[in-house]
Structure 1
């Protein structure tokens, strides 16, 4: 498995920060690592390392195909968007030791000329549901979209996201704000630095963050319990209807 800085696949050792400002202030920080891959050229790992990083279409979109890009294209087709063979970069956790949980996967979708056509934000919650947001970032690489999916049990669905989604380069810097009723309720940031996806880099990341995707899932639940013990009211979870193209 060989790579060099500035290329994909790449690894981003990252710090994820969540800050809740309402109804009570709460902050959490989690260290992990994320992959940036080209969906047409996924990583080719040595056999012994494959349990540390698997990418499968069943973990994304409708889960009806083994090919992630095919699932993405089926979703885009419902919005009348085609990529005409353009490149797609995905930022996400890989499946590690048989387990994966991606609270947020991002897809930068380009046309054949390299121009960015859209960004797709795929959100998973801890109830086994998923939802995709189709985004058209402006010149500042930001996009607004109404919230349509139940994620945290302490926030209702109603509200709006504002996301800043620059394509990862030497540094990764993604920001997501959740606003409701003119007030900022929540901010999430992902910050990291690119590392070449070499065998040594992957092994060091796996040692520092063993079973990294399970750790993400456990951390979310642990902090949820802490917020519940602080008296935050739980919002009723509405029934989620699968999106067209994601059944």
Structure 2
């Protein structure tokens, strides 16, 4: 039995506050995959496979440097480059699987634990619709709950937002529920808020089959929703930002943030 891998079923929300308000919300589910458990999960499941076609699949080359190298090894490199101490504990990846061979993950999150079970760092791997990938690596304060982190925006995601922004993350790590809230601030204040939240479910074939009925073609719908809302933003005459060159490095380093007063940020 997998000890830590699970499914989370919930919702993604995105709000833009200026110059013209815009919001979206849709139902989503994610897999939380302990990188050391994926092979055992695939061996037990008829519906989930690793690196081969199935109803649900995980493909290593969709992530990191896309070479197919062990992802835990790549995470270790990212943490070392960021100067974050880590003792090769568990790494659990929150992501959407391939469904019938197709996947697109705007953000996948690696939760990096020490051998003592404490969360040491997170890696936010961002994919844009132009086929580019960049990751934000940030440490976790020992007693910080919820986790709060900050990072300067380095990677082009939307043609309707420039790079002159700062991200503020608020994270409730995986448990019976999960929550990640990302506020984007520019020189005028908060510009956007994006969040995901979900409740934990057992990762087994019966749940996967049920989710196929309740969330059909999920990953394709995520891509379709991105383009549909882009058309709506064009109709609202939002300013179009030129696509800059991608960052020279695959990783940007964030930092643990000073806690805000209780209740100041909510999913």
What is the CA-CA distance between 1:49 and the residue it aligns to? 4.3
Q: Answer yes or no: is the 8 Å Cα contact 1:118–1:135 preserved in 2.
A: yes
- Alignment equivalent of 1:206, drawn from 200, 205, 212: 212
Write the mapping of 1:169-188 to structure 2, written as runs, cut at 5 A. 169-188=175-194
Structure-2 change in CA distance of 1:46 and 1:244 (3 Å): closer
Q: CA deviation at 1:163?
A: 0.5
Structure 1 residues 179 and 48, CA, compared in 2 at 3 Å: closer, same or farther? Answer: closer
Runs of 4+, deviation exceeding 3 Å: 47-50, 80-83
Determine the structure 1 residue equivalent to 2:261. Answer: none
Determine whether 1:196 maps to 2:213: no
Is 1:151 equivalent to 2:157 in the alignment?
Answer: yes
Runs of at least 5 residues in structure 2 that lack an aligned partner in the other structure: 253-267
Following superposition, the deviation at residue 96 of structure 1 comes to: 1.4
- 1:222-237 correspondence to structure 2 within 5 Å: 222-237=228-243
What number of residue pairs does the alignment pair up? 242
TM-superposed CA distance for 1:181, in Å, is 0.7
State the Cα distance separating 1:66 from its structure 2 match: 4.5
Unmatched 5+ stretches in structure 1: none
Q: Provide TM-score, normalisation by structure 1.
A: 0.91
Give the match's secondary structure for 1:239.
coil
Task: Report which structure shows greater RCO (CA 8 Å, sep ≥6).
Answer: 1
- After TM superposition, the score normalised by the length of structure 2 is 0.84
Looking at structure 1, the residues matched to 55 and 182 of structure 2 have their Cα atoms a distance apart, in angstroms, of: 28
Cα deviation for residue 244 of structure 1 reads 4.9
| Aligned partner of 2:30 among 34, 45, 48 | 34
| Partners of 1:56 and 1:66 within 8 A in 2 | no
d(CA) in 1 for partners of 2:201, 2:140: 26
The Cα shift of 1:91 comes to 0.7
How big is the shift at 1:189?
1.2
CA contact (8 A) 1:153 1:234 kept: yes
Contact 1:86/1:110 (CA < 8 Å) preserved in 2? yes
